[in-house]
Amino acid sequence: MNKKERLSVLFDFDGVVMDTESQYSVFWHRIGVEYLQHDNLEQIIKGQTLTTIFNTYFTEFEDQWETIDEQLKFFEQHMKYEYIDGFEDFLHDLKAHDVMTAVVTSSDEGKMSAVYAAHPEIPQLFDRIFTAEMFSKSKPDPDCYLLGMRTFGTDAAHTFVFEDSFNGLKSGLASGATVVGLATTNKAEYIAPLCHHVLHDYKDFSFDKMIEINERKHS
C-alpha cells in the first residue's frame, strides 16, 4: 500500500454501521413464511436490493410487491437505529487520518430517510452515501463497491470494505478491496473465509489496526 495516496473505507449500513439486521430478520422471516413457505429467506436475501429480492423470489407475487413494499416502509419507520459498539470512535479516527468514507447500502432512499429522521447527523458523518438507486447490480456483484472506488478515485489496493452479510462479503472480495467482516449477522467462523479479518464490533479497533490487516493481506 502506497501510504502517500488517500485511502477510502466503504461501509455497508445494516449490521455494519447500525445494529439493525436482527430486526430485518424478523420482518423477512415473516414475509418468507407467509408468501413462500420458506423459513430461512431472511438469511438468503441479506445484502440484496429490494428489486433483486422481488425479481428473484417473488415473481409469482408481482401483484403483491406494492403491499410488501408498504409493509417494509412502515416497519423501517418504527425500527430502532443504534450504532454498532465503537463505530463512532472508529469513524472519527479515520477522519483524523484523512480517510475518505462512504456508506454503500442495498437500502433505498426511502429507508435512509427514516434513518436520517432518527440520526440527522449521518449525512455529515460520511463523504458519500450510495443507495440502491445508484447501482445497477445487486450484491454479491461488486458493482456498488466499484462505484465507490470510481467516485473517490481510489483503487482496490487503497480501499477497505466493511461488510456483514455473505452477499456483501462476496461483493467486497470481488471488488479486490481489503475486506473486514462484522460478525453481527453471521457467526465469525462462517464469515471468516470471505474476508481478511473478522470483528465483533469496533471497540478497541483503530486506523492503525486496519492498516495492519492490509499489510498481513499482502505479506
How far apart (Å, rounded) are the C-alpha atoms in residues 156 and 177? 4
DSSP result, 86-127: THHHHHHHHHHTT-EEEEE-SS-HHHHHHHHHH-TTHHHHSS
Instruction: Tell me which residue has cell 442495498.
Output: 106
Quick one: 117 and 52 in the same domain? no
The whole-number pLDDT of residue 190 equals 95
The whole-number pLDDT of residue 5 equals 82
Q: Is the four-CA dihedral 119, 123, 175, 9 of positive or negative sign?
A: negative
pTM attached to this predicted model: 0.87
Residue 156 confidence (pLDDT) above 90: yes
Per residue in 33-90, pLDDT (tens digit) is 999 999 999 889 888 889 999 999 999 999 999 999 999 989 888 888 999 999 999 9
The domain boundary residue, chosen from 77, 97, 120? 77
Whether residue 3 is contained in a domain is answered as: no
The domain boundary residue, chosen from 36, 51, 77? 77
C-alpha cell at 20: 439493525
Q: What is the CATH number of the domain that holds 186?
A: 3.40.50.1000
The whole-number pLDDT of residue 70 equals 94
Give the residue numbers spanning the domain of 56.
21-77
Number of domains in the chain: 2
Quick one: 163 and 125 in the same domain? yes
Using a CB cutoff of 8 Å and minimum separation of 24, what contacts does 26-33 make?
27/71, 27/72, 27/75, 31/68, 31/71
Per residue in 97-117, pLDDT (tens digit) is 999 999 999 999 989 999 999
Q: What is the mean pLDDT of residues 179-186?
A: 95
Quick one: 37 and 143 in the same domain? no
How far apart (Å, rounded) are the C-alpha atoms in residues 26 and 116? 22
Q: Order of strands across the sheet with 178-182?
A: 128-130, 100-104, 8-11, 159-163, 178-182, 197-199
Whether residue 1 is contained in a domain is answered as: no
